[in-house]
Structure formats: structure tokens, C-alpha cells
Chain A
Amino acid sequence: MTKDPCDRCEELLQDYLDRTLTDAEWKEAEGHLSGCDYCSRRYKFEATLRRYVRVSAVERMPPGLMDKLAELRGLDATA
């Protein structure tokens, strides 16, 4: 049974963006994306979302923590 090409393209989405597809899968995805706005938009959306998640998740180190870590220098292996 052949899959709906958009379902197949959806399956390839994560590996496509991670660049872990085989050459054959890569060609398959590219071939479909070049003619399908529906999937192209969703691929673009996923790439934007990943960047946004990365930026949004950042929380700076609390003040004082660096000093506490620096104080741990020289800890004895037996301590």
C-alpha cells in the first residue's frame, strides 16, 4: 500500500531538519517539498519553532553560583 505523500513527508520532517536522512530519503523529501506548499510551510514552521524553543528556554545562571563553583576548586578526591 502506498502512503499519502504528505504523510510520508511528515515522517521525514525531523530527520530532514537534523540532516540525518539517507541520500534517497533526502531526494524523496526534496522532490515532494518542491511541489507541495502544505508540507513546505510545515517544514519552515518546524525550523522556526526549533530556533524559537532554543532561545526561549535560556535562563541565565543565577548571580553567585559562579563564585560557589569556583570555591569548589581543589576539592580532594577523598573528601
Chain B
Amino acid sequence: MSQPEPDTQARRIATEARDRARFEEEALALADQVYRVARRLVGSREEAEDLVQETYARAFRSWKSFTPGTNLRAWLFRILTNLNVDRGRRIQRSPQTQPLEETDYYLANKLASAGGEEALETDEVVERLSQDSIVKALSEIPAQYRDAVVLVDIGDFTYADAAQILDVPIGTVMSRLHRGRRALKQHLAEEAVG
């Protein structure tokens, strides 16, 4: 194949530089959302910062493998969750403290028996749960269930996006999500009602 004409090549380089700059700009615009979700996947602020930086470093290096027009946020999280699993940095629970499988009404039942049935209809009943207790309860969900809860309930990803990010079937996302939410409520119940 013959060499492209010099001006064609210059144009190609200019186009690529522009595409790259656009990609970087779009990725950086998502940084706040990426950090917010990353922060709940790991145990500390420092780890979240490192993880987000590693994610962006990898994303910027491999920007050509992103297909324009597809979901950039999901693509970034695919990188982020892979890095997180590879580094073994996910908050791990010790096996002996795995939660029992509680039912979905567990927390509501506990709160109703402490404050009355009508209390469940008020916003105050959840507002009594402190922000710290929510954060702590999230961190206590077993890691693989927590990833699903954090991506869907905090990151607002669809089941399909979460499945792609975690590289598991949608059904697996759903069952991890359901179990993770039940575990969350169980931890909140222990925290709130004892």
C-alpha cells in the first residue's frame, strides 16, 4: 500500500488529536460521578482516589478501544471494577460474619415494632438512620453483592449496564442486587434497633 499524501496524513493526525481531546473531556466531565460510586466500592477515601486515578490513566491510554456513541460511564466502570478486583482492594468481610438471608420486610418490621406501623409512612423513619450508619451498612455488604447494589442503587446503572460492567449475566446481577439490598437492610436494622 502506498504512503498517504502528506496533507492527508496531517489531517488524519489532526482528526485523531481532536477525537482524543473530546474523549478526554467527556471522561473528565464524569469524574465526579465516577468518584462518588468508586468511594462506596472501597474502604477509604485514599483508595477511592487511587482507584479513580488508575482508572483514568488506563482509560486515557486505551481511549481508542472506546466506541464513540456507546455508554462512556459504563465503559469507565468496567475498567474501574476490573482494577478494583485485580488489586484485591474491595472491602472484604470475614466469612464468619456473613449475614443470614433476611427477608425484605426485615428492617421495616423492626422499625414498626419500635415506632409503630404508621411511622413507616413517614420520611422521618428513615431520616433517623444516620448517614454514617448507611455508609457503614453499605460497606458491610459482602463485596460481590455490594458491587451490584452500588452500581445500580447509587450509580443508577441499569441491570444490563451492571451486567456488562461486572461481566456476569443479568440474572446474576439481579440476584446479587436482591441479596445485597437485604443484607444492607439487615445491617441497618442491627444498627438502628439493635
Do A and B interact with each other, yes or no?
Answer: yes
Chain A interfacial positions (CB closer than 8 Å to B): 10-11, 13-14, 18, 20, 37-38, 41-42, 44-46, 48-50, 52-54, 56-62, 65-66, 68-70, 72-77, 79
- State whether B31 touches A56 (Cβ < 8 A): no
- State whether A73 touches B107 (Cβ < 8 A): no
The reply to whether the CB of B86 lies closer than 8 angstroms to some CB of chain A is no
Which residues in B have their C-beta under 8 angstroms from that of A53?
134, 138, 153-154, 184
B-side interface size class? 35 or more
- State whether B104 touches A13 (Cβ < 8 A): yes
- State whether A73 touches B45 (Cβ < 8 A): no
Which residues in B have their C-beta under 8 angstroms from that of A70?
28
The DSSP consensus for interface residues of chain B is helix
19 contacts across the A-B interface (CB closer than 8 A): A11-B104, A13-B104, A20-B174, A42-B120, A48-B125, A49-B107, A52-B134, A53-B153, A56-B129, A58-B36, A60-B36, A61-B36, A65-B52, A66-B28, A69-B31, A70-B28, A74-B20, A74-B24, A77-B64
Cross-interface CB contact of A72 among B60, B103, B105, B109, cutoff 8 Å: B60
Docked complex Cα distance between A45 and B118 (Å): 10
B127 CB, nearest partner CB in chain A, Å: 7
